[in-house]
Amino acid sequence: MAKSSVYQSKTSGNKGVINWSEEENQIWAELYAKQLPLLKTRACSQYMEGLSLLALPDDRIPQLPDIDKVLLAQTGWKTAEVPALINFGEFFRLLANKQFPVATFIRSKDEFDYLQEPDIFHEVFGHCPLLTNPAFAHFTHTYGKLGLAASKEDRIYLARLYWFTVEFGLVRSKANPEKLEIYGGGILSSPGETLYALESGDAIRKPLKAIDALRTPYRIDIMQPLYYILPDFDYLFELADMDIMSLVNKAKGLGLYPALFDAKKQA
């Protein structure tokens, strides 16, 4: 979690409604129009099914109470309006209570293709569709409970697992196992990384092993040099049921892998 933000979150008024400006709604509309065509052939089917269930507007920023109605009905989750940045403790507390944090600001046009901070497009368009899926919802809930009980040091290791799954994960297609698809919200909400993650010859793509993800450094301000691949989407159930904290202890003993980038800002 970054310590400061250049953005100012908005506060909801009556019944959880936020008054977005015409410019802010226009940025959402442009992001939506650019990203949806890219994802139709690149996102996993579970994401596209969730997107259909949420029925997000394409011309304006959606209101969180409308999203909550769908999430609660599907998996018992809801969103939580938060400032631009929150600390690890609050992040894990929310996830442990089936509340997904949504920062109530939207990126500027200068950061249209890639944003280091999670804005409402990232959280809602990138993550919320998959929270309608039982496997993704179960993994995220389990992760939150583990993180809430973990030490400060262990949370840093857990953050790497989250980064390489929920944020920047790839998965083998349900219809065609030879094809890779996107499920990580950091990719799904980034026009630039959507193409890079699947098509760049520079990126490394490896099958996911939890112990490897826990030991892999990452940076938040670059296209990812490495992506981990789920064998299938329901593997998230199996991953959630592993003794993850035992793997964290093992990872601490083994140490981190060498970074695939300049070590500045690595996590």
For residue 244, give the nearest of 163, 166, 150, 164 by alpha carbon. 150
First to last CA, the chain: 10
C-alpha 103: how far from chain center? 13
Query: Is position 122 annotated in a ligand binding site?
Result: yes
Query: Is position 127 annotated in a ligand binding site?
Result: yes
Tokens of 214: 């826990």
Query: Is position 138 annotated in a ligand binding site?
Result: no
Question: DSSP E strands: which ranges in the chain?
Answer: 78-82, 99-103, 170-172, 180-182, 204-207, 226-230
Interior CA angle at 35 toward 10 and 56, to 5°? 55
CB atoms within 10 A of CB 10: 18
Taking the C-alpha atoms of residue 191 and residue 10, their distance in angstroms, rounded to an integer, is: 24
Taking the C-alpha atoms of residue 190 and residue 193, their distance in angstroms, rounded to an integer, is: 5
Taking the C-alpha atoms of residue 202 and residue 59, their distance in angstroms, rounded to an integer, is: 35
Q: Residues marked as binding for Fe cation?
A: 122, 127, 167
Residues flagged as binding site: 122, 127, 167
